Amino acid sequence: MSKLQGLSFGLATVVLVVLATGYFMRDWLPPLKSDRGAIDEAMAATLVVTGLVFIATNLLLAFVAWRYEDHEGAKAAYWHDNTRLEIAWTAVTAVIMFAFLFNALKLWADMTSEAPRDAVVVEVTGQQFRWVVRYPGKDGAFGKTDAAKVDVDTENYIGLDKSDPDAKDDVLMVNDVYLPVGKPAAVRIRSTDVIHSFFLPNFRVKQDALPGMTTKTWFIPKVEGDYEIACAEHCGLGHYKMKGQLHVLSPDAFEAKLVELGPAAPEAPAGSPNQASE
């Protein structure tokens, strides 16, 4: 490689990375509509750090190709290693990676922590190929469910035990979630068959739905509107159909909607929303 080729390689690397990064970041995420801005900040920081390292590495490669090009009379020199240099770059890399790791663990802890006591509680159950949505009634308790009672023909998709007093005022619907703007939403996520993944791109919410388990997360919707619910885990031939709508309403409109859809609007339970009974 000639010196001109080495210089051209270095310049092309910088130009291509800058252009690609600008184009990618322009539309790489849908507009944020929740309180989870820390996730966007973490991804941006990761992109900046790894991008700078990538550029620096390729510029160094271009410099070496330019500085040590082959020429008549050149003699190869053997260079084995430099222990201090290897320890230094390993230590710096480890520090950067641990910083990313600890920040990610903090974000995960925040997202899966106990929701505020005044949060609206909603249960979302993944089932090939639909999202079954349930709210507790005024008692703040979910009715019991039994897998043996699941009956698609009668639309008892989650096996609700209708003899349970707590089930009398449960509000159920399919593929639609309603939440009030500006208020914490505690989401209990379940599955009746295979692994699904409850994904709200605009809210930076993505939580797996696992058979036999209840996973939990919470967030605060910030902007009214209708948003996509997707399944981010391939769950069978009908995976492409497993989508729904999240409707963020004003508090009054939310209460009115739940009255319209079911026997009673949900209210926050007296205790933690994540302790609502099965």
Using the predicted structure, report yes or no on whether residue 266 has a pLDDT greater than 70.
no
- Is residue 188 a contact partner of residue 114, using CB atoms and an 8 Å limit? no
The span from the CA of 123 to the CA of 133, in Å, is: 6
What pLDDT does residue 275 have?
A: 39
What pLDDT does residue 263 have?
A: 60
259 or 230, which is more confident: 230
| Per-residue pLDDT tens over the stretch 139-152 | 788 989 888 888 88
What pLDDT does residue 177 have?
A: 95
pLDDT band at 2 (very low <50, low <70, confident <90, very high): low
For 59, list phi and psi in degrees, rounded to 5: -65, -40
277 or 165, which is more confident: 165
For the chain, give the percent of residues with pLDDT over 90: 49
Mean per-residue pLDDT for 5-11? Answer: 71
Quick one: how far is CA 207 from the chain centroid? 6
Q: Which residue is associated with the tokens 């008892």?
A: 156
Mean per-residue pLDDT for 209-234? Answer: 94
Helices and strands: H and E segment counts in the chain = 4, 10
- Which residues make beta-bridge pairs with 161? none
The span from the CA of 27 to the CA of 253, in Å, is: 32
| Weakest-pLDDT range from 10-14, 80-84, 155-159, 175-179 | 10-14
Instruction: Indicate whether this model's pTM tops 0.85.
Output: no
What pLDDT does residue 39 have?
A: 92
Mean of the per-residue pLDDT values of the chain = 85
| Per-residue pLDDT tens over the stretch 72-122 | 777 777 777 888 889 998 999 999 999 999 999 999 999 989 999 999 999
Q: What is the DSSP string of 11-36?
A: HHHHHHHHHHHHHHHHHSSPPP-BS-
| Per-residue pLDDT tens over the stretch 21-62 | 777 766 677 889 999 999 989 988 988 898 888 888 878 877
Using the predicted structure, report yes or no on whether residue 179 has a pLDDT greater than 90.
yes
What pLDDT does residue 1 have?
A: 53
